[in-house]
Structure 1
Amino acid sequence: MNVTDIFLKIDNISVHGYNQLLFENLSLTIQKGESWAFVGASGSGKSALLQTIAGKLNITNGTIRYGFWDKYIRSHPEESHITFHQLITLLESKHHFKNLSNTTDFYYQQRFNSSDSEDAPTVTEYLQDIRPLKGRERFTTDQAISLLNLQPLLHKKLIMLSNGETKRLRIASALIKSPALMLMDNPLAGLDVNTRHEFNNIIGTITETGISVIITAAPNEIPPAITHVAVLKDGAIIETCTRESFDAGKYNFHTSTAIDGNAIAALAKQTEAPPYEYIVNMHNVNIKYGNNQVLKNVNWQIKPGEHWALLGPNGAGKSTLLSLINGDNPQAYANDIVLFDKKRGSGESIWDIKKLIGYVSPEFYQYFPADNSCLQVVESGYYDTLGLFRPSNPAYQQKAMQWMKVLEIDQYARTLLKNIPASAQRLCLLARALVKNPPLLIFDEPCQGLDSHQQENFKSIVEQICLNTPVTLIYVTHYQHEIPDSVDKVLRLEKGEVVS
């Protein structure tokens, strides 16, 4: 091995984080020109390894040698103050966008409030502020915009972007910085079918410019442009190989789910069917932000006990449509919308609506405060608050714990939400949506970030709830296999219009 070809060398490192040992004596060598995928079950250490490489976690033993940094400093001695951090971009599961005032982060409902959303920069303004390091100009802003197909989004406020559009923007912004190394945590999550297909070409274009890429991915979703795979288990690398020799079927991380249907039925039990003619009744709904029409003449009637899939590509208007049902969008008052047999604007409060709905989405996950314990987060579902701000109710806490056990996250009950794996965080929010037995469940990409076992377990739970209770379900996903079998109705959106 030519030492000058070493791009990154991890040598017997030990890493502590969140009061636990994350890695012990872990080693990995990456050569110049290689791009890697880290795969493994939830909690195996994939995201933590990306954070370690990016310098976000403390190494207590061993070393990491950044060969690309050594090379940059040799080539640019006048830039000796540059640290390796500045040659790395890390795209984690959550973004950290700022308002134009640069004083506060975005908050969940900001996108739906026109006066507050004006404080967010546009895509163009955001990209224009990014500067690469001297000598690292690999992508111009125009090239990044073209590669990620951002032209239709340039006028949009950041807060108005869909989950998938935000993902594309973040990749583009990383490219403009032209790092030596791009770290991407589950970059395919939230992307629609077409964008997932295009992602391999995007990876190929990136690597052709000399930028190395390391991603985390599901075993069956590794782009062909990736050259090598490392399999993690319990904080250790148990196999490394080329992508061509990687056997995805060997590592599907699926263990059988033994769902107790009676236990689920007892937890989700409702005394009687919801006394409504319509859960949702919309007529010719139109939503505009400035000159941008997000929804156009949408009609949708949902009766109690129906199970719907809401489908469409990134930016089709799905999240905006759901915001009208969940009580988050004030434009509901200017439209003909009936929820639970009450016309919007007839005196009901946002809390009257929310108490009837269990809701989770990528945006909700993005903005949910993480300083409560996981058990407190789940119990907060009874009050529809973003965290628990009152003394715990023993009966509520007991049921919250039961749901956590069903979702296999009870071991995190006393741990702060921010200190557990992202997949477990998402499952906490799913438990929070289920805990009060609402008549309507809205699951917007609920399996995003979950491994195959967690996906199957959750799908089985939803199936049992649908079979044993009169619940109404709206389910959003970009993956056909995630849709529960009980779903038998579909609304498909494209560019804000109903197409089926």
Structure 2
Amino acid sequence: MNNPILSFEHITVRYLQQVLFADLTFQVMPGQQWALVGKSGSGKSALLETIAGNFNIMGGNASLPLLEEVVQRHIGADPFLTPRKLMGKVGAKYAFRTLSNTTEFYYQQRFNAHDSEDALTVRRYLATIQSYAEQPFWTYERTIDTLHLAHLQEQQLIKLSNGETKRLLIAAALLKNPLLLLLDNPLTGLDKQTRATFNDILGAITASGITIIMATAPGEIPMSITHVAELDAGHIVRTSTREEYQMQEAATTELPPLDEQELRALLALAPTPAFEVIAQLKDVSISYGGKRVLDQISWEVRQGERWALVGPNGAGKSTLLSLLNGDNPQAYGKNITLFDRKRGSGESIWDIKKKIGFVSPELFQYFPSQNTCQQVIESGFYDTLGLFRKSQAPNAALALRWMRVLALEHFAATPFRKVAASVQRLCLLARAMAKNPPLFIFDEPCQGLDAEQQQHFKHVLDTICQVSNATLIYVSHYQQEIPASVTHVLQLDQGKQVEA
């Protein structure tokens, strides 16, 4: 009988004084490819981290038999080889370091000319990846071709878009030629075209002999997956083949009720000031290192309009948004008007930021984690990345009221670092909305949220748009995530405006 690749028998797992799993049993046999599904916070990411060896297994039996066999066969050639080195993992967050290897990247680094050069290129970063395979199947050439990275090889890591970074991380994991590949929501941040080819990419990976365990949404289970494990509150409640799982009726969960009266009351506390033009760009171009990222963009957003900003990975969407939210110093000298005022006419970055509620994948990636969830939301009143001053009781109370609107109130005193990624993202959305700004800029705000969380957030946002004069710019690669209140579309491709 074949030995399993992974065997967990009645294990207990702890992390940061929390019990994540109790009496958990899970086994992966050769030839099986597993998807982990379940609501946000059900334990999918935690199970991947446990398999990767990042959480403490306190009881039961845990082994990686096939990986341990490989280690034993090569112990003479490499005494430092461990089962963990035979795994590849792509998580929800990443930790690139600067070229000088002294610090990790920071938010806004990509827009600061000097610091943006303090980063490895794609080529140099991938050259640092070590493979332990005797005859690697995933060579550099095959990997960058499969992940469509050839045109990005000389690009600094910090300048990659969110979707391009995800493809890079998958490439780095493949270059290890692992026996076991762990993927945490790998489709998150990928544009429609790349998602469409992802089945082929996974097919090539599994055909090369790699076993995959991936956390994913129930509606995004690739064809290469053979088995599905459903998680709920730290328990595997059901396992099935992919075919059996897809035949089951989808469970419907009642959405949290939205207290529209409370939402209206919160919005009335800070009425939206009147503007004629929220944002206007006239013939704006942006270049980095000789590469034109935005090419002669002309766009006007008037107060009360709700826009979708769409386009493939690397189209220039994040750069365009950075010109509006005060993060990009190249906004100076460009023909840009924000809130009826010409950019560069004496306003400060903080004058701009206090009028904008902003969320993006980069903000999630680099947001500090030392505060409680309630403090993270309160920091939005001061436009700081975290609460670095004494909490003010009125703002703390408002933060808690917004947490109730988004069904987050029971996380108020919990440290931000201890909650699930989905809860962190919802806290950042509450942080953006709490000050009731004239403009919301939401860049892929539903990343990592389950279907119920997405629907509830969209209900909140559509209600805000219905009862207020808020302006919205919304970015998503998924048509179904775009709120019903959106009525205008700007589409970018290779830095140019194209007809939507």
The two structures have a TM-score, normalised by structure 1, of 0.97
> 1:136 offset after TM fit, Å?
6.0
> 1:81 offset after TM fit, Å?
2.9
State the partner residue of 2:437: 438
Residue 52 of structure 1: which of 21, 26, 50 is its match? 50
State the partner residue of 2:341: 342
State the partner residue of 2:129: 130
**One-letter identity of the residue aligned with 1:53:** I
**What does 1:394-409 correspond to in 2, within 5 Å?**
394-409=393-408
Verify the 8 A CA contact 1:219 1:252 in the aligned structure 2: no
Please give the alpha-carbon distance, in whole angstroms, between the structure 2 residues aligned to 1:274 and 1:142.
Answer: 55
Please give the alpha-carbon distance, in whole angstroms, between the structure 2 residues aligned to 1:20 and 1:432.
Answer: 26
> 1:409 offset after TM fit, Å?
1.4
Verify the 8 A CA contact 1:257 1:456 in the aligned structure 2: no
The two structures, once aligned, show a CA RMSD in angstroms of 1.3
**What does 1:198-209 correspond to in 2, within 5 Å?**
198-209=197-208
- SS of the residue 2:336 aligns to: strand
State the partner residue of 1:85: 84
Match status 1:31 vs 2:2: no
State the partner residue of 2:325: 326
Please give the alpha-carbon distance, in whole angstroms, between the structure 1 residues aligned to 2:249 and 2:401.
Answer: 32
Unaligned runs of 5+ in 2: none
State the partner residue of 1:368: 367
**One-letter identity of the residue aligned with 2:432:** A
Please give the alpha-carbon distance, in whole angstroms, between the structure 2 residues aligned to 1:309 and 1:464.
Answer: 17
State the partner residue of 1:5: 3
Unaligned runs of 5+ in 1: none
State the partner residue of 1:309: 308
Please give the alpha-carbon distance, in whole angstroms, between the structure 1 residues aligned to 2:16 and 2:408.
Answer: 17
Verify the 8 A CA contact 2:357 2:437 in the aligned structure 1: yes
Report the identity percentage: 51
Verify the 8 A CA contact 2:270 2:435 in the aligned structure 1: no
List per-residue Cα deviations over 1:227-268 (Å, max 9, x = no partner): 110000111111111111113764456423422222211112
Counterparts in 2 of 1:337 and 1:396: CA distance versus 1, 3 Å: same
Verify the 8 A CA contact 2:3 2:66 in the aligned structure 1: no
**One-letter identity of the residue aligned with 2:463:** Q
State the partner residue of 1:61: 59
Counterparts in 2 of 1:271 and 1:173: CA distance versus 1, 3 Å: closer
- SS of the residue 2:163 aligns to: helix
Moved more, 15-24 or 205-214: 15-24
State the partner residue of 2:491: 492
Match status 1:387 vs 2:386: yes
Please give the alpha-carbon distance, in whole angstroms, between the structure 2 residues aligned to 1:253 and 1:48.
Answer: 24
Match status 1:141 vs 2:140: yes
- SS of the residue 1:484 aligns to: coil
**What does 1:49-448 correspond to in 2, within 5 Å?**
49-78=47-76, 79-135=78-134, 137-247=136-246, 250-251=249-250, 254-269=253-268, 272-448=271-447
Verify the 8 A CA contact 1:381 1:436 in the aligned structure 2: yes
> 1:271 offset after TM fit, Å?
5.4
Counterparts in 2 of 1:248 and 1:196: CA distance versus 1, 3 Å: farther
Moved more, 72-81 or 218-227: 72-81
List per-residue Cα deviations over 1:30-51 (Å, max 9, x = no partner): 1112110000011111110001
Verify the 8 A CA contact 1:378 1:431 in the aligned structure 2: yes
**One-letter identity of the residue aligned with 1:372:** N
Verify the 8 A CA contact 2:75 2:81 in the aligned structure 1: no
List per-residue Cα deviations over 1:99-136 (Å, max 9, x = no partner): 10001000011000111101011111111121201426
List per-residue Cα deviations over 1:144-172 (Å, max 9, x = no partner): 10000001111211000000000000000
Counterparts in 2 of 1:329 and 1:84: CA distance versus 1, 3 Å: same
Which stretches of structure 1, 4 residues or longer, exceed 4 Å deviation after superposition? 270-273
Verify the 8 A CA contact 2:454 2:481 in the aligned structure 1: yes
List per-residue Cα deviations over 1:364-416 (Å, max 9, x = no partner): 10010111111110000000001111111111001100111111111111111
**One-letter identity of the residue aligned with 1:302:** V
Please give the alpha-carbon distance, in whole angstroms, between the structure 2 residues aligned to 1:396 and 1:273.
Answer: 18
Please give the alpha-carbon distance, in whole angstroms, between the structure 2 residues aligned to 1:134 and 1:197.
Answer: 30
Verify the 8 A CA contact 1:253 1:452 in the aligned structure 2: no
Please give the alpha-carbon distance, in whole angstroms, between the structure 2 residues aligned to 1:433 and 1:67.
Answer: 47
Please give the alpha-carbon distance, in whole angstroms, between the structure 2 residues aligned to 1:193 and 1:417.
Answer: 31
**One-letter identity of the residue aligned with 2:155:** K
Please give the alpha-carbon distance, in whole angstroms, between the structure 1 residues aligned to 2:120 and 2:191.
Answer: 25
Please give the alpha-carbon distance, in whole angstroms, between the structure 2 residues aligned to 1:271 and 1:458.
Answer: 21
- SS of the residue 1:309 aligns to: strand
Please give the alpha-carbon distance, in whole angstroms, between the structure 2 residues aligned to 1:199 and 1:39.
Answer: 18
Verify the 8 A CA contact 1:356 1:439 in the aligned structure 2: yes
Count how many residue pairs are aligned between Structure 1 and Structure 2.
498
State the partner residue of 2:467: 468
Please give the alpha-carbon distance, in whole angstroms, between the structure 2 residues aligned to 1:445 and 1:249.
Answer: 30
Moved more, 250-259 or 169-178: 250-259
Counterparts in 2 of 1:391 and 1:337: CA distance versus 1, 3 Å: same
> 1:90 offset after TM fit, Å?
1.8
Moved more, 243-252 or 369-378: 243-252
- SS of the residue 2:485 aligns to: coil
Please give the alpha-carbon distance, in whole angstroms, between the structure 2 residues aligned to 1:13 and 1:273.
Answer: 53
Verify the 8 A CA contact 2:143 2:174 in the aligned structure 1: yes
- SS of the residue 1:77 aligns to: coil
> 1:93 offset after TM fit, Å?
0.6
State the partner residue of 1:14: 12
Please give the alpha-carbon distance, in whole angstroms, between the structure 1 residues aligned to 2:385 and 2:22.
Answer: 36
Please give the alpha-carbon distance, in whole angstroms, between the structure 2 residues aligned to 1:160 and 1:311.
Answer: 19
List per-residue Cα deviations over 1:275-330 (Å, max 9, x = no partner): 22210010001000012110000011011111101011111100000000000001
**One-letter identity of the residue aligned with 1:486:** S
> 1:224 offset after TM fit, Å?
0.5
Verify the 8 A CA contact 1:46 1:216 in the aligned structure 2: yes
List per-residue Cα deviations over 1:38-92 (Å, max 9, x = no partner): 0001111111000100110001111211022222124323134311111112211
**One-letter identity of the residue aligned with 2:15:** G
**One-letter identity of the residue aligned with 1:379:** E
Please give the alpha-carbon distance, in whole angstroms, between the structure 1 residues aligned to 2:213 and 2:357.
Answer: 36
**One-letter identity of the residue aligned with 2:57:** I
- SS of the residue 1:481 aligns to: helix
